[in-house]
Every structure is written in structure tokens, then in C-alpha cells.
């Protein structure tokens, strides 16, 4: 972790390799490094839960909903790094339930 400082004042923080610490609930993170396949899924899930893509999902934009469904399917098919995939599934789960059903 690093503190971000601007003009002598702490203005934020940064976590190096956040995927490494991905977990559900209060479980300890897996000490093993993340699988290469989970990294792009992490990025995609973060995109899906932040604006402007989140608004597009909620507006049921077909392209955004397709991305949501594709992320959900990719996470469910992920065989390695299951605990991190499950954590990401819990992140997008409500969106999938509310907007991703076909």
C-alpha cells in the first residue's frame, strides 16, 4: 500500500496488485498469486460497477448487458482461482440478477 501525497497532504492511497487481495467477506486472501485469467475479469467487473457502464447496464443497453452476461459466464467457467472468481461473482451478482437475465 502507498499513500498518495500532494503538497504535503495525504490525498489518498493506492493498493499494489489489488487482485492479489480479492476475497469474499472477511476471509484471508489466498497467498498464491492470482491466475493470469482472473486479472482481465477483475478489470471488467470494476468497469461494470462504475459509471458510465453501470448506468448503461441499469438502462439495459444491449451492449452493456452483453458485457455483464459475458463476465458472469467467464467467471462461472473459471476453473483456476475459484475463490477470486467467486468474489467477483458476488460483486456483480445483483446486477446479473436484476439486469442480466435473458
pTM of the model: 0.86
What's the pLDDT score for residue 70?
97
User: How many domains are contained in the chain?
Assistant: 1
Query: Could you tell me the CA-to-CA distances from 78 to 20, 52, 54, 81 in Å, in that order?
Result: 16, 27, 23, 7
Any domain includes 13: no
5 falls within a domain: no
Q: Note whether 50 and 42 are within 8 A (CB).
A: no
Asked if residue 10 is part of any domain, the answer here is no
Per-residue pLDDT for 94 more than 90?
yes
Angstrom CA distances, 74 to 13, 24, 49, 67, stand at: 30, 18, 16, 10
Q: Which domain does 28 fall in, by range?
A: 22-100
Residue 51 clears pLDDT 90, i.e. is over it: yes
Contact indicator for 90, 43 with CB cutoff of 8 Å: no
How far apart are alpha carbons 9 and 89 in whole angstroms? 36
Amino acid at each position: 500500500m502507498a499513500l498518495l501525497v500532494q503538497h504535503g497532504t495525504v490525498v489518498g492511497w493506492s493498493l499494489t496488485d489489488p487482485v492479489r487481495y480479492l476475497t469474499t467477506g472477511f476471509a484471508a486472501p489466498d497467498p498464491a498469486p492470482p491466475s493470469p485469467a482472473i486479472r482481465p475479469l477483475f478489470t471488467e467487473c470494476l468497469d461494470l460497477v462504475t459509471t458510465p457502464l453501470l448506468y448503461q447496464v441499469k438502462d439495459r443497453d444491449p451492449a452493456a448487458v452483453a458485457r455483464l452476461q459475458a463476465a458472469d459466464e467467464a467467471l462461472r467457467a473459471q476453473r483456476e482461482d475459484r475463490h477470486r472468481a467467486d468474489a467477483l461473482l458476488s460483486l456483480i451478482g445483483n446486477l446479473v440478477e436484476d439486469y442480466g437475465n435473458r
